[in-house]
Chain A
Amino acid sequence: MTRPAYTPEAAIAEDIEGYLASHRDKELLRFITCGSVDDGKSTLIGRLLYDSKMIFDDQLSALEADSKRVGTQGQEIDFALLVDGLAAEREQGITIDVAYRFFTTEKRKFIVADCPGHEQYTRNMVTGASTADLAVILIDARKGVLVQTRRHSYLCKLLGIRHFVLAVNKMDLVDYSQDRFDEIVADYQRFAASIGIDHFAAIPISGFKGDNITALSANTPWFNGPVLIDQLETVSLDRAAEQAAPLRLPVQWVNRPNLDFRGFAGQIASGTVRPGDAVRVLPSGRTTTVSRVVTPGGDLDQAVAGESVTLTFADEIDCSRGDVIAAADSPPEVADQFEATLVWMDDQALLPGRGYWLKLGTQTVSATVQQPKYAINVNTLEHLSAKTLELNAIGVAELATDKPIVFEPYAQSKALGGFILIDKLTNRTVAAGMLNFSLRRAQNVHWQPTDITREDHAALKNQKPRVLWFTGLSGSGKSTIANAVEKRLSLMNRHTFLLDGDNVRHGLNKDLGFTEADRIENIRRVGEVAKLMADAGLIVLTAFISPFRAERDMVRAMLPDGEFIEIFVDTPLEVAEARDVKGLYKKARSGALKNFTGVDSPYEPPKHPEIRVNTVEMTVDEAADAIIRAILPLK
């Protein structure tokens, strides 16, 4: 019924040289298997490894013993035990994480991403799909196309997989019925077309029994192939198109062993490069020609997409990590505002307005994400309104970077369109994203140079602009102390302005509430206003609780070094609550006021404030005097 996929023993024993030569030219195909626990995915992979002789005797005997102990297949071999690697998974009989498996046939080497299928593991599937050329969508023949089938197909399509195989599994349990198979294929076809999967290969299989995996099965005389392995071995890998595309080389590292050599190292994302090619370095846009493609084995005539290379240029131009070397006549775009599709991967939900690190290619910048335009229900593909994205949620949102980045839409280039977001405090990878397009407003709005500079404004006022940023709990004394400081500055003939939290919420920020996202937006706007005032030469005082370190740091980053003075009005919660000047703590404790800092919303004290005033030990006047002393001289 089945034969091993691959019986190379004779060739190896008799003609090892010839055998090795034929193996040097194998291509690599990476694919993902999608299916849920019960679809028999791990069993199928175990079967592929087994049939391609990737299981050794000692592993097989361990497998036989394990199968009897914890297997789910009675006395028969449970192939799933081969691939469910982590102890928790073996105990619970489920696949939690992405695992990578390897096997070889006569034509290709394969890397399989084995991913869990449950909705709570969407992030794991997205991870596995990001590097796959092909997806095997598993369906249980008894159950047909399910919600999870749609979800898996959608995620694979979203991540840009172009080749799909529909493996209708467990055919042995539906008596190898052609009618059942045809019905499932027709069902799937309708759905696939609706999400843009134009073509897929459908195969009736049994991972457990081995039907149509490596050879046509006598149990399905109505099926003419190709069988699964044939499909995997022959699907086109589109390498020619990849190499014919314009050159894109994200620079990873500048190689400077001595003064005479300056090489630019990176992996070619698309295209082909040869000595003499005209190239443009982005974002600067400077052009030069490639002089050498350097390797230890001698210079190359050409290098292509997928290769890691080191180039040298004919001219000494600026080029460093994060830059992209591109074909001079068709460079990629540079922009700082985008629409992107995001897959949220962290327990802590998206905070719109919060600054995250965005890593795309070799570029790392700070980025903020707007409130999502919509989230996508991965089961029904409906668009839902959403204020944020929780773990495993997928949504579309606008995002802005703090400086322009070199990019291409994800549909065109995974390397220059795919990115991750990293939480600045925890350093966790919180999201994966795909850039859809840049926003026109980024392209059409330019900085207008003005003749009177911020230095001119400051010189006229005979002072150095500053932002005195008061932060602390409600009732800590921020406004009172800021007011006292401003009075002293005024007496010293300084030009000042005090931005007060409550006052701003009556006007500029009257549309904002007190949720975490609104608090972030509140501070972002105040930061921008303070910056404009500092540009105008003023000494700005701000009195806001500003509970989150990330936003205070964001404002600090907007201003020139030394102009942001963080003043921590350090009053213990008990003291502030005992004062309760506005009666707010009482309301918050009774539950009448939600999201109140210190009660049911956190306050993150500054780690290294420029100035710290202790209001338990100091009077208002003492605190104000101390602050004035600390910021002298004023010009």
Chain B
Amino acid sequence: MTKSLTHLDRLEAEAIHIMREVVAEAERPVMLYSIGKDSAVMLHLAKKAFYPAPPPFPLLHVDTTWKFRDMYGLREKVAQAAGMELLVWQNPEATERGINPFDHGPLHTDMWKTEGLKQALDHYGFDAAFGGARRDEEKSRAKERIFSFRTASHAWDPKNQRPELWNLYNARKHKGESIRVFPISNWTELDIWQYIQQEGIEIVPLYFAAPRPTYEWDGQLFMADDLERLERVLGRKLPTTERSIRFRTLGCFPLTGAVESEAATLTDVIRETLLTTTSERQGRVIDKDGGDASMEKKKQEGYF
């Protein structure tokens, strides 16, 4: 009697296989945990891959101090439930210089995220880091390997990637070099949502519509998650309006565009995702500064 495996079964099996290869071959792996829905799926897959043992690596959150408060809340809860160590890294130089998205523009992402990530990996000596990037997100991601090799200075060379055949991954590297590993490379946004529903995975409430204080900036809608801090940085009052909004992707609250929505349940969110006519990363300011090849450029510099 043939057992039929669905596309989600196959994607799950592939991701678990990848995680186990890393644990078997890397010396000091870590899972990058951004608290978003993709991270939630990755963490769930890790728990399945190593059950009944807890996942044999820590979680690392490269923090910008500008994440939504709901995200910080879920972060602590989830790590504890998984029985995993949670490491939080905030770039000390960015803290000292008070880097923020309003005064410093692209420098905000560069210092908190790109530099912060490199610092954290070097500080702890991690030689393999799981990331939740998917090939359907962005054009240069579509060509990235599942095991993406980085030099000792964390650079990515898209023209010099190792061939990846079958399910064989070459994890060998010299001292100081590292590998970024993307176990959910082949998942699409819809796969992620369906899997969250099928497995009952807890995600940040911000993905669901609720009345929230909002303001407009450059024609996009944002949530005033910490109004007091926003006004302090801007040096003026910021008028806000309450609207029913939700987020398709989560990052720093002043950089993450909200969509007006009434989708308050998972099913509603999936329906809206299926019927939507704009891509997921469209709400992210980060992909666009620098033009067409901006993500590719960021990745060469060491961004995830």
Contacts and interface: CB of A to CB of B under 8 A. Distances in A.
Please indicate which of the listed interface residues B9, B162, B166, B185 has the most CB atoms of chain A within 10 Å of its own CB: B166
Contact of B4 (A25, A83, A101, A108): A25
A66 B135 CA distance: 21
A257 to B, nearest CB: 4
Contacts of A427: 170, 172-174
A359 B168 contact: yes
Nearest to B3: A304
Contacts of A97: 143, 158-159, 161
Interface stretch (B32-40, B48-56, B61-69, B109-117): B48-56
Contacts of A12: 271, 274-275
A461 interface: no
A416 B162 CA distance: 21
B234 interface: no
Contacts of B198: 24
A8 interface: yes
Contact of A252 (B21, B142, B194): B21
Contacts of B3: 243, 272, 302, 304
B279 interface: yes
Nearest to A425: B174
A26 B168 contact: no
B147 to A, nearest CB: 10
Interface string A414-450: 1100111010000111001000000000000000000
Contacts of B161: 97
A247 interface: no
B167 A27 contact: no
A225 interface: no
Given A99-B142, A100-B142, A304 B167 contact: no
Residue picked from A13, A58, A96, most chain B C-beta under 10 Å: A58
Given A96-B159, A252-B24, A28 B10 contact: yes
A123 B160 CA distance: 13
Given A85-B142, A239-B2, A253 B23 contact: yes
Chain B, interface residues (CB within 8 Å), range: 35 or more
A24 B194 contact: yes
A479 B16 CA distance: 56
Interface in A127-153: 127, 130-131
A105 to B, nearest CB: 12
Contacts of B17: 252, 266-267, 308
A294 interface: yes
Given A87-B293, A255-B52, A130 B165 contact: yes
Contacts of A101: 136, 142
A268 to B, nearest CB: 9
A20 B188 contact: no
Contact of B53 (A17, A102, A109, A256): A256
Contacts of A222: none
Nearest to A239: B2
A306 B5 CA distance: 8
A220 interface: no
Contacts of A239: 2, 4-5
Contacts of B274: 8, 12, 16, 19
Nearest to A346: B163
Given A302-B3, A418-B165, A86 B271 contact: no
A429 B4 CA distance: 34
Interface string B249-293: 000000000000000000110110011111100100000000011
10 contacts: A25-B4, A27-B7, A85-B142, A87-B140, A100-B143, A104-B188, A296-B47, A307-B9, A308-B12, A420-B163
